[in-house]
Amino acid sequence: MKKAIKAGRLIVNGEKTTTATWITPGQILELVVDPTNKPKVFEFNLEVIFEDEHIAAINKPAGITVSGNSFKTIANALAYNLKESNELDALLKPTPVHRLDNQTSGILLIAKTKTAQIELGKQFNNQSIQKKYSTIVIGEVLNNSIINSPIENKPSETSFEIAQVIKSLTYRELSYLQVSPKTGRTHQIRIHMASIGHPILGDKLYGNKETIHQGKGLFLCASEIKLLHPKTFKPLVLKIQIPNKFTSLLAREKRRWNTYNV
């Protein structure tokens, strides 16, 4: 804001102002967009799951960061993949409203208007947005359960359901789970699953050496999300198929076990 004022881009009651200007009730403040400050565009193809004038959802691939100082981010690729909004409060560029880890794939929500950005932020804050993740963890998970151990002294809750358990020559057993985090702590699912002795396959940070599956990364995917549309407030459910690496690994491990344990 200080840079904008010095550049003469803050207008108060139709006149340019300075940092010494006092602001009083009833004044009209206008911020003039800097014409030289064009958003960076990373020409990277993304799968668009849903899009209208207000929001969008994309399928984030693993291995790319959502946003940050790097040029090659999802945030910088959105303008290349999404249509401009015609709404009056359209954002200068589409903006992610939450994060997924670099190695996590799946559904990422995008705001295209200021109204959508604010409303989705409220829904995340009051925990009314429901997310479901698909994951493969090491070991045999015996029961559906809820983990509520705090993370960094903050209340945290993750529930999970068992979808499939298979035998594995390398890991003895692997469990395919559907996981629903109620809270949104950093690395929550990864921390919680490791805390009960079932680290996510491929987790270099919270697992151990046996969890590293060479060349396949982290087996964690945001596969479903339920929310209220920020403009119509109608329920919206978005789903994707789990990545091929999940199904191919489960099939391969099952086939190898059957082959060598006849």
Average the pLDDT over 2-21 and give the result. 90
Span of 55-69, 89-103, 144-158, 199-213 with lowest mean pLDDT: 199-213
What pLDDT is recorded for position 3?
Answer: 87
Residue 156: which residues within 8 A CB-CB, separation 6 or more? 147, 148, 149, 150, 183, 185, 188, 192
Residue with more model confidence, 146 or 36 = 146
What pLDDT is recorded for position 262?
Answer: 60
What pLDDT is recorded for position 40?
Answer: 82
Task: Give pLDDT tens digits for 161-174.
Answer: 999 999 999 899 99
Tokens of 187: 């690395």
Its pTM stands at 0.86
Active site residues: 101
What CATH fold (topology level) applies to the domain 38-126? Pseudouridine synthase (3.30.2350)
Read off the DSSP letter of residue 200: B
Average the pLDDT over 2-29 and give the result. 91
Q: So where are the chain's domains?
A: 1-37, 38-126, 130-222+246-260
Instruction: Tell me whether domains 38-126 and 130-222+246-260 share a fold.
Output: yes
What pLDDT is recorded for position 210?
Answer: 65
Residue 260 reports pLDDT greater than 70: yes
Residue 24 reports pLDDT greater than 70: yes
Q: Which option is the CATH number for 130-222+246-260: 3.30.2040.10, 3.30.2350.10, 3.30.465.10, 3.40.50.880?
A: 3.30.2350.10
